[in-house]
Structure 1
Amino acid sequence: MITLPWLYVLAGLMFAGFALLSLGDRSNGKRFGNAAFWGLMALSLLAGNQIGDFGNGLLVLALAGLAGFGLLGRGQPPTTSDDEREGWSIRLGNQLFLPALIIPATALMGTLLYNYTPLGQLGLFEAKRETYVLLGLGVLLALLVIFAWLRPPALAPLQEGRRLIDAMGWAAVLPQMLAALGVLFAAAGVGDIIGGVTRSVIPDGSLFLTVVVFGLGMALFTMIMGNAFAAFPVMAAAIGVPLLIGRYGGDPAVVGAVGMLAGFCGTLLTPMAANFNLVPAALLELKDQHGVIKAQVATALPLLALNILLIYLLAFR
């Protein structure tokens, strides 16, 4: 049976490859920092269970230190030149997208076949993890197709991956850390504290004001944590469940779904949502790293107001 830890090993080997290639890249003046950062990422994925909670905590602190002190740099791996890429584009056109499309196609079609045909009875994959496993298999299948079709150098996928991961830098792992932070906040009782403060400030019976605080809180905590999924447990424990649903009898589906949308408005406004706002700027080599956020402000604020209004109008009918 293929289980989720198999994917951790696959990802860990990839980061280990990035670390080794970074170590030998003399074009990068910060190659030792890059090698240490991606090497620690590989260690967390390959041996996280073995090093324990304390070891993983030290590992995260080391990652934060490497990133915080600016020890990561951008290398220049020996990949194809602009002329070579333009030649491939002219020769193959949109066919170049076929390997990339193999990945989602494998995940989607494989999941449907596994769940709705006798194939699922074979027990090939860990229960409720089929899509993740098939996504990983799709990546491997796409690599096989690339090697059979285009015949690139053996290290080309790792070198290109390293080029992209260096462009993203520490922001590539920020979503994973922020999601974990949301769980820690919820476990530490932050939601209960916020709920107590909210109940002491908002007059009893002020439904609209409670909805406004919930919506704004979702957006603000998302801006702090960079992830609406991390913010939701905190705001749900503070206001959503005890007040909007428990006291005022709100529809849980509306409060939860539209509350998440309010949080996503915060995603548009924060550099902490690095995978959405900083990574695209880095990959597109924008002069202003916050240019994506600035362009989204005019969309995010009206959407936030609309989501707050939707909760008030639809959840309490």
Structure 2
Amino acid sequence: MITLQWLYALAGAMFAAFALLSVFDRSNPKRLGNAAFWGLMALSLLTGDFIGDFGNGLLVLGLAGLAGFGFLGRSHPATTSDEERAAFSVQLGNKLFLPALIIPAAALIGTLVYNYTPVGSLGWIEAKRETYVFLCLGALLALGTIYLWLRPPAVAPLQEGRRLIDAIGWAAVLPQMLAALGVLFAAAGVGTIIGDITGMVIPKGNIFATVLVFAFGMVLFTMVMGNAFAAFPVMAAAIGVPLLIQAYGGDPAVVGAVGMLAGFCGTLMTPMAANFNLVPAALLELKDQYGVVKAQIATALPLLAVNILILYFAAFR
């Protein structure tokens, strides 16, 4: 059976390759810092279940130390030349996007086939992990297609992946860390405290007011913590589960899904979501590092209003 550990191993192998390639990249003066950072990421994914909570905590501290003290640098590995890329662009045009489309197509089609045909009864994949498995399978299929079709140098995909991940830097692991932070906040009882406070403020039985507080709470916590995955455990424990679902009988699927979408509206409006909002500005060399955030506010606010209406009318129909 294919389990989640297989996927962790695949991702760990990728980061291990990035670390190894970084060691030999003499064009990057901070190559050893990059190698150590991505090596720790690989170690976490490959051995996380075996080294325990204390060991994983040390790995996180190591990652934070390497990033915080500026040991990471951008790499510029040599893969294909600008002339070769221009030639591919002229020759193939939009067909170059086909390998990228294989990934979502494999995830969608594979999940539907596995869950809605007799194939699922074979038990090849761990329950509720089907989409993850087919997403990784799609990435491998896309990679194989690239090798067969474009025939790049053997390590070119890994070098290009390393170039991109080095450009993103520590922000690449920010969603994972913030999600863990949200779980810690929930375990520490932050959600319960917020629930007690909001319970005294919201008029009892007023569903719409509760929806508003839940949605705006998701937005504000997301803006502070940088990711809706970090905000959701807190707001779900505070308002989503005890009030919207248990007290008022809201549809759990709608409350969870649309609540996350409301949180993502906060993601569009905060520099704390560095991997989404600051890294693109840096990669595009924008004069205003907050330019992406400012441009997204006009989209985020109407989306938030629509999500609030969907949450109210769809969850309590």
TM-score by length of 2: 0.89
The answer to whether 1:260 aligns with 2:264 is no
Secondary structure of the corresponding residue to residue 263 of structure 1:
helix
Residue 218 of structure 1 and its aligned partner are, at CA, apart by 1.2
Residue 33 of structure 1 and its aligned partner are, at CA, apart by 1.1
- Alpha-carbon displacement from aligned partner over 1:60-105 (angstroms, at most 9, x marks no partner): 1111111112211101111222222111111111221222222222
| Bigger mean CA offset, 138-147 vs 19-28 | 138-147
Q: Which residue is equivalent to 2:14?
A: 14
Residues 25 and 126 of structure 1: CA distance in aligned 2, closer, same or farther (over 3 Å)? same
Q: Which residue is equivalent to 1:191?
A: 191
Q: Which residue is equivalent to 1:156?
A: 156
| Bigger mean CA offset, 86-95 vs 284-293 | 284-293
8 Å CA contact 1:171–1:278 kept in 2: the answer is: no
The code of the aligned residue for 2:24 comes to G
Aligned identity (percent) is: 80
The code of the aligned residue for 1:20 comes to L
The code of the aligned residue for 2:106 comes to T
| Bigger mean CA offset, 23-32 vs 205-214 | 205-214
The code of the aligned residue for 1:184 comes to L
8 Å CA contact 1:107–1:132 kept in 2: the answer is: yes
- In structure 1, C-alpha distance between the alignment counterparts of 2:261 and 2:32, rounded to whole Å: 41
Residues 288 and 114 of structure 1: CA distance in aligned 2, closer, same or farther (over 3 Å)? same
8 Å CA contact 2:79–2:153 kept in 1: the answer is: no
| Bigger mean CA offset, 223-232 vs 12-21 | 223-232
Residues 251 and 40 of structure 1: CA distance in aligned 2, closer, same or farther (over 3 Å)? closer
Q: Which residue is equivalent to 2:171?
A: 171
Residue 55 of structure 1 and its aligned partner are, at CA, apart by 0.5
The answer to whether 1:236 aligns with 2:236 is yes
Secondary structure of the corresponding residue to residue 125 of structure 1:
coil
8 Å CA contact 1:267–1:273 kept in 2: the answer is: yes
Residues 273 and 152 of structure 1: CA distance in aligned 2, closer, same or farther (over 3 Å)? same
The answer to whether 1:27 aligns with 2:27 is yes
Q: Which residue is equivalent to 1:94?
A: 94
- Unaligned regions of 5+ residues in structure 2, if any? none
Residues 314 and 109 of structure 1: CA distance in aligned 2, closer, same or farther (over 3 Å)? closer
Q: Which residue is equivalent to 2:76?
A: 76
| Bigger mean CA offset, 134-143 vs 201-210 | 201-210
- Alpha-carbon displacement from aligned partner over 1:277-298 (angstroms, at most 9, x marks no partner): 2343344343433221110122
Q: Which residue is equivalent to 1:218?
A: 218
Q: Which residue is equivalent to 1:293?
A: 293
8 Å CA contact 2:79–2:156 kept in 1: the answer is: yes
- Unaligned regions of 5+ residues in structure 1, if any? none
Taking only aligned residues, the RMSD between alpha carbons, in angstroms, comes to 2.5
- Alpha-carbon displacement from aligned partner over 1:224-248 (angstroms, at most 9, x marks no partner): 2222233122112223343445556
8 Å CA contact 1:164–1:283 kept in 2: the answer is: no
8 Å CA contact 1:102–1:141 kept in 2: the answer is: yes
Q: Which residue is equivalent to 2:63?
A: 63
The code of the aligned residue for 1:266 comes to G
Mapping of residues 265-280 of structure 1, within 5 Å = 265-280=265-280
- Alpha-carbon displacement from aligned partner over 1:104-126 (angstroms, at most 9, x marks no partner): 22222222332333333333322
